[in-house]
Amino acid sequence: MLGLPESENSNEDTADEEVPEKSNKKASKPIDFILFPK
What is the chain's length?
A: 38
- Positions in the chain whose pLDDT score sits under 50: none
What pLDDT is attached to residue 25? 58
Handedness of CA 20, 26, 30, 32 (dihedral sign): positive
What is the rounded distance in angstroms from the CA atom of residue 13 to the CA atom of residue 19?
Answer: 10
| Global confidence as pTM | 0.16
Q: Dihedral, CA atoms, 25, 27, 13, 7, nearest 10 degrees?
A: -70
Residues of the chain with pLDDT > 70, as a percent, come to 0
